[in-house]
Amino acid sequence: MKLKPLSDRVVVKMVEAEETTKSGIILTGAAKEKPQIAQVIEVGPGGLVDGKEVVMTVKVGDKVITSKYSGTEIKLDGEEYIIVRQNDILAIVE
């Protein structure tokens, strides 16, 4: 199955959180923060949203930083994805 987002929505997949710190300390599951860096999987067409023209600035394959608790989490074919609006994407990681 394939997800095709509508309007100004973007399908992202979160990048796994680091399991060790820079100094080599191994983190337990409870100590890990929810990752905010995600990879863009699909991008909606943009268009007219709430009376304003939205041009999509992200593209498939971009790594992005999302708002911490934004979007709708879904599970499809055993994979977890989040559907967010483009304005919930804070930055593109280069």
**pTM of the predicted model, to two decimals?**
0.78
Q: What is the 8-class DSSP label of residue 19?
A: S
Give the helix, strand, coil percentages of the chain, each rounded to 5: 5, 45, 50
- Which of 16-20, 21-25, 36-40, 85-89 is least confident? 16-20
Q: Over the stretch 26-61, which tens digit does the pLDDT of each residue have?
A: 655 544 455 589 999 999 999 888 888 999 999 999
What confidence score (pLDDT) does residue 31 get?
Answer: 45
Does CATH number 2.40.370.10 belong to domain 9-17+27-93? no
Q: What does each C-alpha distance from 78 to 4, 60, 75, 88, 89 come to in angstroms?
A: 17, 20, 6, 25, 24
Domain boundaries, the chain: 9-17+27-93
% the chain with pLDDT above 70: 78
Residue 63 or 21, more confident? 63
d(C-alpha 24, C-alpha 26), whole Å:
6
% the chain with pLDDT above 90: 59
d(C-alpha 32, C-alpha 18), whole Å:
8
Give the position of tokens 């860096």: 37
> What's the angle, vertex CA 81, arms to CA 76 and CA 84, rounded to 5?
130
